[in-house]
Amino acid sequence: MQLRYLGDSHDYIELFLLRHFHGILHCRLGVNWYLTEPEDNDDGEQRHYLNEPEWERLDRELLHKLRAFQKRENRTFAVFESAGVLPAGTLYYKSKVSPRGRRQLWHECAMESLKLADLIFLDQDNGFQVNSMTARTEPKYALYEEAVEYLKLGKIIVAIQFARQCKPIQRGNEVRDKLLLSVGSSRICRIVRGRVAPNILFLVASTPALAGEVGSALETFEAKSPILRGRRRVELIE
């Protein structure tokens, strides 16, 4: 993630999802920000949800807290944590993603920092690794083996996948299949789609033992979604 995006429309959905999981499952949250250097452009200002009543009904308290991040000077981890956006006790890993050669050490430090969490949120810039990534762009992606190591520890993981210039459902299924193939066992993975621009997907994976609880939490999450022109703004697609 890049700090300049903090509190945008994608964040609103993802943070509500994490707050929802905490409330339903009573799990301790861990956030790996996958922090990267900001790019030199003016995108990341999609904050329209702040003025749309349909989104306010989703989580009024959260929306109120995120208004603070309209100001660029407030887009810091210190302000975020002091505002109580996520529940007390949430663990954070804030180190920038290391380049090739030092990435494994970065990942090991992240796992150590988040080891007491029950649910790990991976907030990578773009999504999971792609064949076209280079040494320069690799920090913008999560590696499948990083997610797999959390799953093997029995953690629930929630990971971002942006769906730009593609069919969101197809992209989500492709990434899910690669993740499940990488873990090499019968993990369960559901996909949530957020209809914002661009679409954001959340891959939610867990052990089979937790599949029922996680599935029920996702269904109640979907049921709270605003509806616009007959379609849910947030929906389960798998």
| pLDDT tens string 173-200 | 999 999 999 987 768 899 999 998 889 9
**What pLDDT does residue 52 have?**
85
Q: Which helix (H) or strand (E) holds 231?
A: strand 231-232
Cβ-proximal residues to 41 (8 Å cutoff; 6+ apart), any chain: none
**What pLDDT does residue 55 have?**
85
Amino acid letter, 108: E
pTM for the structure as a whole: 0.94
What are 175's two structure tokens?
A: 């990434």
**What pLDDT does residue 238 have?**
67
**What pLDDT does residue 166 have?**
85
As a whole number of angstroms, the distance between CA 101 and CA 121 comes to: 24
As a whole number of angstroms, the distance between CA 117 and CA 234 comes to: 26
**Other beta carbons within 10 Å of 34:** 27
Q: What is residue 162's three-state secondary structure?
A: strand
State how beta strands 231-232 and 227-228 pair.
Answer: antiparallel
Q: What is residue 32's three-state secondary structure?
A: strand
Cβ-proximal residues to 23 (8 Å cutoff; 6+ apart), any chain: none
Nearest to 31 by CA among 156, 155, 121, 151: 121
State how beta strands 156-163 and 119-122 pair.
Answer: parallel
Q: pLDDT tens per residue, the chain (238 residues)?
A: 999 989 999 999 999 999 999 999 999 999 999 999 887 666 657 888 888 888 887 889 999 999 999 999 999 999 999 999 999 999 999 999 999 999 999 999 999 999 999 999 999 999 999 999 999 999 999 999 999 999 999 999 999 999 988 899 999 999 999 999 998 776 889 999 999 888 999 999 999 999 999 999 999 999 999 887 778 999 998 6
- Identify the structural domains of the chain with CATH numbers, from first to last: 3-236 (3.40.50)
The C-alpha R_g of the chain, in whole angstroms, comes to 17
As a whole number of angstroms, the distance between CA 111 and CA 13 comes to: 25
**What pLDDT does residue 43 have?**
60
Question: Which single residue is written with the structure tokens 């999504």?
Answer: 127
What are 167's two structure tokens?
A: 């069919």
